[in-house]
A = this chain, B = another copy of it.
Amino acid sequence: MRHTLKDWLPIVQWGSRYDRSTLVADLTAAAIVTLLLIPQSLALALLAGMPAQTGLYASMLPIVVYALLGSSHQLATGPTALRSIMSASAVGAVVASTGADFLATSALLALMCGVIMLAMGLLRLGFVASFLSHPVLTGFISAAGLLIAASQLKYFLGIPIKAGNVPELLGSLQALPAGPHMPTALTGLAGLALLYASRRWLKSLLLSAGLGQGVADLLHKAAPLFILIGFIALSWAMDLGGRGVAVVGKVPSGLPSLSLPSWGDAPLQLVQALLVPTILISLVGFIESVSVSQSMAAKRRERIDPDAELRGLGAANIAAGLTGAFSVGGSFSRSVVSSDADARTPAFGIFTAAILAITALFFTPALFHLPQAVLAATIMVAVHSLLDFGSFARTWRYSRIDFIAMALTFVVTLMVDIVSGLATGAVVSIVLHLWRSSRPHIAEVGRVPGTEHYRNILRHEVHTMPGVMGLRVDESLYFANARYLEDHVSAQMASHPDVTDLVLQCTAVNDIDASALESLKTINARLRDAAVRLHLSEVKGPVMDRLKRSDLLDQLSGQVFLTHHQAMTAMEQARSDPAAAI
């Protein structure tokens, strides 16, 4: 595939037809997204274990960079809950074992994620993300959601609770010196109740109060910001900070500076320790972002280029690492908002970043009194969208094998940690896939009377011919099932000593790899030793092209027939007229 500048730098494409109406639409969308982004970015910084201002940093340069390189027109990038908890978990483990600086390590992780995603994008390796199966991702994300909620308990209740996994949480709860800090817990609960109520009922309340759809919608979206402002005022008025409620405190104002994080004495060792988590975070972050942007694009019949997304997200993460922030991605909740608000081009991201920059420059002092418990409540409300327990029951009904992978991922994520859970899920789902396709469905077929159709003799009333066996293999033949086919044919021949002709119907065989080719040769040779001819029928075009490049067809003791019916007709003729050789 040749690539043009348009593919590499999508801004060239949309920039050339940018007009005033697009500008208005993008500006409006940016304003609305920012209402959501300001509280989220502060809360997600805390979730990532980082100071509040880094949440703002993560929402500036990275968003601009993605706007220039990414292919989605509606994807709202910046901090996301899944990325933040994965970053916190990975960095926490590495810092504990190496004693590195938490902030610098988080920035390094973002930088490494960026480099890996960019490299994957340049090498067009977007497909590897598909090795994480959907049930594994669902099990993982549900478990991560629970861990995210648990990780906020310390802010929410004002007591030291560690919650990297369930055993740690239980141990931490048992070792607690006292109950929750009541003023903090009350603030948190109030915040949670208000945020939940505004999300659930505010819009219908406003509509029934007679407000227009547009205004009600805007107020509904701005509610989290107003609730935060309300709590800042309350906290200042009641001096909650003085009563022991943890507040955000002094947030340095100004824009982040571009700098390489300082990585201590053993940077290579640090990079090595971060490598596996980085790869997993990159994959999960990519899948999360690309799912969101594809959903948005499909509605408008636009197209996402997964490799361009990798490049865009990769560059955005490098920008995050260089501005002292943490790993960023595409946010589902904010993208829904930007799409609803009719964002038309990635330029809306640039405007979002500009508003954030103004906030960082002038409004950080206002954040001083914001209680951390309210930010924790913001995250807890958002976590709700990650939990999907219904899909456990659905998957159980649909496929036990997928359920095993899903449940294992869920349990290991909760009980051990996020990285082990995801790695376990990936390995288990690959092994289970190989196991499943290693014993394919093989049906003995017979003719449906009066037709030229051949169906499973166990499911249908069909005619068979003495001495001739027809087998249909319902799977591509490859190394994992090649030997099974050998065993199966041997067993069939051992239990049917009268058979002299075996016809393999290859309707469902989409591929025959070199191992399966060897097995077919072995089967052919063994059958010949036992005086049985091997025939093939209904071999697909591309498979046949390949077989012609091997010597199987020369060795074959029988023939290749275009249709299974032709094969059976030929057998019948040969039997009624033994003089005619098949």
Chain A residues near B (Cβ < 8 Å): 127, 129-136, 294-295, 297-304, 306, 394-395, 397-399, 401-403, 406, 429-430, 433-441, 459, 474-476, 478-484, 486-487, 490-491, 493-494, 497, 507-508, 510-511, 513-515, 517-519, 522, 526-527, 529-530, 540-542, 546, 549-551
Alpha-carbon separation in the docked complex, A304 to B131 (Å): 36
The answer to whether A130 touches B298, judged by C-beta atoms less than 8 angstroms apart, is: no
Asked whether A510 lies within 8 Å of B441 as measured between CB atoms, the reply is yes
Out of B303, B441, B529, name the residue touching A491 (CB < 8 Å): B303
Which of A131, A295, A398, A490 counts the most chain B CB atoms within 10 A?
A398
Least CB distance, A163 to chain B, in whole angstroms: 29
By the criterion CB–CB under 8 Å, are B490 and A433 in contact?
no
Closest chain B residue to A509, Cβ basis: B508
Q: Report the minimum CB–CB distance from A474 to chain B (whole Å).
A: 5
Shortest A546–chain B CB gap in Å is: 6
Cβ of A436 and Cβ of B127 under 8 Å apart?
Answer: no
Bound CA–CA A435/B26 (angstroms):
39
Which secondary structure dominates chain A's binding surface?
Answer: helix
The 4 A-B residue pairs whose C-beta atoms are closest, nearest first, are A133-B479, A298-B526, A134-B515, A402-B514
The smallest C-beta distance from A545 to any residue of chain B, in angstroms, reads: 11
Complex contact A490–B304 (CB within 8 A): yes
* A481 nearest CB neighbor, chain B only: B130
Q: What residues on B are CB-neighbors of A476 within 8 Å?
A: 437, 475-476, 510
A313 CB to nearest chain B CB (Å): 16
- Copies, count: 2
| In the complex with contacts A304-B490, A494-B301, A517-B398 CB distance below 8 A | yes
> B530–A301 contact, CB under 8 A?
yes
User: Is B540 a contact of A478 with CB atoms below 8 Å?
Assistant: no
Report chain B residues within 8 Å CB of A542.
Answer: 441, 474
Q: Which residue of B lies closest to A306 (CB)?
A: B487
Which of B303, B394, B399, B486 interacts with A294 by CB under 8 Å?
A: B486
Q: Are A490 and B399 touching (Cβ within 8 A)? A: no
CA distance A490 to B303 in the complex (A): 7
The complex places the Cα of A518 from the Cα of B139 at a distance, in Å, of 14
Say yes or no: A480 contacts B436, CB within 8 Å: no
- Nearest-neighbour CB distance to chain B for A285, whole angstroms, equals 15
B508 touches A508 (CB 8 A): yes
Question: Which residues does chain B contribute within 8 Å of A127, judged by CB atoms?
Answer: 435, 438-439, 483-484
Of A133, A441, A479, chain B has the most CB atoms within 10 Å of the CB of: A479
Residues of B within 8 A of A508 (CB): 507-508, 510
Residues of B with C-beta under 8 A to A519: 134
A130/B297 contact (C-beta < 8 A), A487-B306, A514-B135 known? no
Contact residues in B for A511 (Cβ distance below 8 Å)? 436-437
Q: B residues within 8 A CB of A540?
A: 474
Whether B298 lies near A479 (C-beta < 8 A) is no
Which one of B132, B482, B490 contacts A479 once the chains associate, using CB atoms below 8 Å?
A: B132
Contacts of A483 in B (CB 8 A): 127, 129-130
Q: How far is the CA of A482 from the CA of B132 in the complex (A)?
A: 11
When the two chains form their complex, are residues B529 and A394 in contact, meaning their CB atoms are under 8 A apart?
no
A309 to chain B, nearest CB (A): 11
Kindly report which residue of chain B lies nearest to residue A127, judged by CB atoms: B438
Using Cβ atoms and an 8 Å threshold, which residues of chain B touch A430?
430, 434
**Which of B295, B441, B490, B510 is the one whose CB lies under 8 Å from A298?**
B490
Residues of B within 8 A of A398 (CB): 514, 517, 546, 549-550
On chain B, the residues within 8 Å of A482 by CB distance are: 130, 134
**Interchain CB contact under 8 A, B434 and A510:** no
Q: Assuming the A-B contacts A130-B438, A134-B515, A135-B515, are A529 and B298 also in contact, with contact meaning beta carbons closer than 8 angstroms in the complex?
A: yes
**Chain B hits for A550, CB < 8 A:** 394, 397-398
Q: Which residue of chain B has its CB nearest to the CB of A480? A: B130
Given A394-B550, A491-B303, A550-B397: A402 touches B515 (CB 8 Å cut-off): yes
Contact (Cβ within 8 A) B434 A303: no
A130 to chain B, nearest CB (A): 4
Question: Could you tell me if A134 and B518 are in contact, using CB atoms closer than 8 angstroms?
Answer: yes
CB-CB under 8 A from A484, the residues of chain B are 127, 130
Q: Are B131 and A479 in contact (CB under 8 A)?
A: yes
With A131-B480, A479-B134 given, is the CB distance from A298 to B515 under 8 Å?
A: no
- The residue in chain B whose Cβ has the minimal distance to the Cβ of A129 is B483
Q: A543 — nearest CB in chain B belongs to which residue?
A: B474
Extra inter-chain contacts (4) besides given A131-B438, A397-B550, CB under 8 Å: A298-B490, A402-B513, A429-B479, A475-B510
**Are B481 and A397 neighbours in the complex by a CB distance under 8 Å?**
no
Per the bound structure, the CA–CA distance linking A433 and B295 in Å amounts to: 29
